[in-house]
A = this chain, B = another copy of it.
Amino acid sequence: MRNFKVTLAYDGSGYHGWQRQSNALAVQEVVENAIFKLTGEKVVVQGCSRTDAGVHARMYVLSMELESTITPRGIQLGLNSWLPDDISVIGCEECEAGFHARYHCKGKEYEYIVHNSRIKDPFLKNTAFRNTYPIDEVLLDKAAKDYVGEHDFKAFCSTACDKEITVRTIYRFDVRREGELVIFTVAGNGFLYNMVRIMVGTLLFINEGKIAADAIPRIIESKDRTKAGKTVPPQGLYLNKVYYDKEPED
């Protein structure tokens, strides 16, 4: 068997997240079907992460084993011809036998895009979350630094989270503005269920004065989900980068 590392990008608007499920269409199922059409092989691919319904990926890595003698370039172009236009194979390489997209992942970077405007932009319908309250991105960039470091992020985890260990390391968390867009970028060694969306929601509560600007350390300390802000909706969230070699502490 040959082992491959495949990199995707997808617009998650039309999918119920990454993971294959019985009652709704997921990206994994569409990708596995395309692999079957291309190679005739029924494989179960290993994704680097579950993404939720409506969440996007600019870089998503999966690993898979194939019998086929097809070249990596042939896999990329072949899968792209079978995949719908909202899923794209942006890279493919053959890799060592043991490589596993999830187990060997060293870290990830997410981006969350807020459209900060009273007036809707029809072209951002599925690709940003609109928040009408004027955002002070300098204030939020400062507050976001309190997330950085190794902490128990239990307060920033959906109550549906099934992880026993909720300690994660955040390498950086930056907030910047590009016109009407406010962009939250966070990198860490791992993320709990809904963690990025709750971290961003907490910053938006700080912006609106519903949570104090210096409260993040106390919320972390509390380990209490109800102290943090609302979970912001999925359409603003992008899995941006996945790291395998070294920790992305740039």
A residues in contact (CB < 8 Å) with B: 9-11, 56, 76-77, 80, 83, 85-90, 118-123, 125, 127
Contacts and interface: CB of A to CB of B under 8 A. Distances in A.
Contacts of A56: 122-123
A123 B11 contact: yes
Contacts of A83: 120
Contacts of A10: 122
Nearest to A88: B120
Contact of A88 (B9, B89, B122): B122
26 contacts: A9-B121, A9-B122, A9-B123, A10-B122, A11-B122, A11-B123, A11-B125, A56-B122, A56-B123, A77-B118, A80-B119, A80-B120, A83-B120, A85-B120, A85-B122, A85-B125, A86-B122, A86-B125, A87-B122, A88-B119, A88-B120, A88-B121, A88-B122, A89-B119, A90-B119, A123-B127
A147 to B, nearest CB: 27
Contacts of A123: 9, 11, 56, 127
Question: Lowest 9 A-B CB distances belong to which pairs?
Answer: A88-B120, A85-B125, A11-B122, A86-B122, A10-B122, A88-B122, A86-B125, A9-B122, A11-B123
Contacts of A11: 122-123, 125
A1 B11 CA distance: 46
Nearest to A124: B85
A10 B86 CA distance: 20
A34 B116 CA distance: 24
Pick from A10, A83, A123 the residue with the most CB of B within 10 Å. A123
A144 to B, nearest CB: 25
Given A11-B123, A85-B122, A88-B121, 13 more contacts: A9-B123, A10-B122, A11-B122, A11-B125, A56-B122, A56-B123, A77-B118, A80-B120, A85-B125, A87-B122, A88-B119, A89-B119, A90-B119
A111 to B, nearest CB: 13
Nearest to A130: B85
Contacts of A86: 122, 125
Contacts of A77: 118
A127 B9 CA distance: 16
Contacts of A125: 11, 85-86
A20 B160 CA distance: 46
A88 B118 CA distance: 11
